[in-house]
């Protein structure tokens, strides 16, 4: 099977190591026309977005080629938290109380009881997401989110508005699957064993197979399927985040793509099949046979806990020798700045583990992490001299 890569990077994957073209996704019409000109005579079987930035244009290209795809409107719902919540409410899905507010909205205008979670409408990876418990915390959070939106390049409505939601208590899960002809098919459920209570919501541990019982799994899968229908998703990979609250499963995020970053390796560790192969099968309308009772596998997305410049990482050799640890990847190099949430948008790296059981996997990840020491130095800010 040949793959054509459409890259949106200044440090492009093409043409050095992959067959494809480079386009500018910030210029959607020009990008669309360039892609169509390249693929219109090729025997394309499916079109697949690998991250949020390519979801909408991927839908348009597939539609032009007459291939199964999600509509542009459905794709948009996965990228706009406010529009997604409205669609879920219309479909009577289980949603928290929410309110779309301006960045200038005073705390007196909130119609939701504290605690409240404030979310930018179009950012991902928990960037800018802050829980506030009172008016003082609300005002402070609004100033921080305003600065984050300014630095992120958001424009128009998404620059000036936020989503305010009632905080949902309960354990959180990630659900990986794909939709074929409007039907949701499960790949796996990831447990997030560490409580995510705020004020920021940095994800850390993912482990699979899930420890949920059959009734809880069925309820979670049914709600995700209902949310897919509410969005109008018809075809393609899906990554969902949800909580099990006292009123049942509640969707937090729904993305029309695979799980992000390096975490897709967990699928191969646990199911003995590559995520990319499973998704391409689904895109071609084939439902793969999934063994949900594979070995336990887990990842720690190494959090950035302190701001500064990374000098070095200590203890890496000892951490790699931890029983059941498969690999450790450090993605931020010495000399680069570390920015914690809610302003930050990246992880230090990843620790992967695989063991016969859930508890052994979880323990291996925690043990390896405890052996690492990230040495930083403060970032010096230069002041402009006035003469």
For 50-70, write each residue's pLDDT tens digit.
777 788 888 889 889 998 888
Estimate the crossing angle of helix 28-39 against helix 55-64, to 10 degrees.
Answer: 40
Token digits for 330? 């450090």
Banded model confidence at residue 351, pLDDT cuts 50, 70, 90:
very high
pLDDT of residue 2: 77
CA nearest to 96, candidates 120, 115, 74: 115
> Domain 295-379 has what CATH class?
alpha beta
DSSP element (H, E) containing 259: none
Considering the domain delimited by 97-166, tell me its CATH architecture: 2-Layer Sandwich (3.30)
pLDDT tens digits for range 144-155 = 999 999 998 888
pLDDT at 261 > cutoff 80: no
Could you tell me the residue ranges of all domains in the chain? 5-76, 97-166, 169-294, 295-379
The mean per-residue pLDDT over the stretch 283-312 comes to 84
Higher pLDDT, 381 or 264: 264
pLDDT at 325 > cutoff 80: yes
Alpha-carbon separation of residue 19 from 2, 3, 59, 331, 355 (angstroms): 9, 7, 21, 25, 37
pLDDT of residue 287: 80
DSSP element (H, E) containing 336: none
pLDDT at 162 > cutoff 80: yes
pLDDT of residue 379: 83
Kindly report which listed range (5-19, 154-168, 302-316) carries the lowest average pLDDT score: 5-19
DSSP 204: -
Give the length of the chain: 387
CA distance 146 to 156: 13
CA distance 297 to 208: 6
Domains 169-294 and 295-379 share a fold: yes
pLDDT of residue 222: 97
pLDDT of residue 244: 96
pLDDT of residue 219: 97
pTM confidence score: 0.88
Across the beta sheet with 130-132, the strand order is: 98-102, 161-166, 116-120, 130-132
- Per the CB < 8 A criterion, the answer to whether 85 and 163 are in contact is yes
pLDDT of residue 383: 64
pLDDT tens digits for range 10-58 = 656 555 556 788 888 878 899 899 999 998 888 888 888 877 778 888 8
Mean confidence (pLDDT) of the chain = 89
**CATH (residue range 169-294):** 3.30.470.20
Phi, psi of 347 (to 5 degrees): -110, 160
pLDDT at 133 > cutoff 70: yes
Token digits for 261? 């970053």
- Per the CB < 8 A criterion, the answer to whether 351 and 368 are in contact is yes
Compute the C-alpha angle 223/124/368, nearest 5°. Answer: 90
Q: In the chain, what percentage of residues exceed pLDDT 70?
A: 94
Strands (E), 283-383: 296-302, 308-314, 325-330, 337-338, 349-355, 373-377
Banded model confidence at residue 5, pLDDT cuts 50, 70, 90:
confident
Banded model confidence at residue 360, pLDDT cuts 50, 70, 90:
very high
pLDDT of residue 318: 97
pLDDT tens digits for range 187-205 = 899 999 999 998 999 989 9
């Amino acid at each position: 099977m040949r793959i054509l890569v459409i890259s949106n990077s200044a440090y492009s994957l093409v043409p050095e190591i992959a067959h494809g073209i480079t386009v500018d996704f910030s210029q959607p019409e020009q990008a669309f026309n360039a892609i169509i000109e390249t693929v219109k005579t090729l025997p394309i079987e499916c079109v697949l977005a690998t991250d949020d930035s390519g979801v909408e244009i991927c839908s348009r290209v597939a539609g032009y080629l007459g291939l199964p795809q999600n509509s542009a409107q459905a794709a948009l719902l996965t990228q706009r938290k406010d529009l997604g919540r409205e669609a879920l409410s219309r479909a009577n899905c289980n949603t928290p109380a929410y309110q779309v507010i301006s960045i200038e909205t005073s705390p007196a205008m909130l119609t939701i009881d504290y605690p409240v979670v404030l979310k930018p409408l179009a950012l991902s990876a928990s960037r800018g997401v802050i829980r506030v418990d009172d008016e003082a915390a609300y005002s402070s959070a609004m100033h921080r989110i305003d600065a984050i939106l300014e630095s992120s390049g958001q424009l128009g409505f998404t620059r000036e508005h936020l989503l305010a939601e009632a905080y949902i208590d309960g354990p959180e899960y990630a659900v990986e699957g794909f939709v074929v002809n409007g039907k949701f098919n499960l790949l796996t459920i990831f447990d997030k064993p560490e409580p995510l209570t705020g004020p920021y919501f940095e994800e850390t541990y993912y482990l699979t197979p899930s420890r949920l019982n059959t009734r809880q799994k069925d309820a979670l899968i049914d709600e995700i399927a209902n949310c897919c229908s509410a969005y109008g998703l018809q075809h393609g990979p899906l990554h969902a985040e949800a909580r099990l609250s006292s009123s049942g499963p509640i969707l937090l995020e729904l993305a029309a793509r695979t799980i992000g970053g390096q975490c897709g390796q967990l699928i191969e560790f646990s199911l003995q099949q590559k995520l990319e192969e499973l998704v391409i099968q689904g895109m071609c309308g084939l439902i793969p046979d999934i063994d949900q009772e594979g070995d336990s596998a887990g990842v720690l997305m190494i959090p950035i806990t302190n701001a500064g410049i990374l000098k070095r990482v200590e203890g890496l050799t000892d951490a790699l020798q931890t029983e059941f640890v498969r690999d450790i990847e450090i993605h931020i190099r010495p000399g680069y700045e570390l920015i914690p949430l809610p302003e930050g948008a990246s992880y230090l790296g990843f620790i992967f583990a695989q063991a016969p059981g859930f508890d052994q996997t979880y323990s291996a990840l925690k043990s390896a992490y405890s052996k690492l020491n990230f040495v930083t130095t403060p970032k010096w800010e230069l002041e402009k001299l006035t003469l």
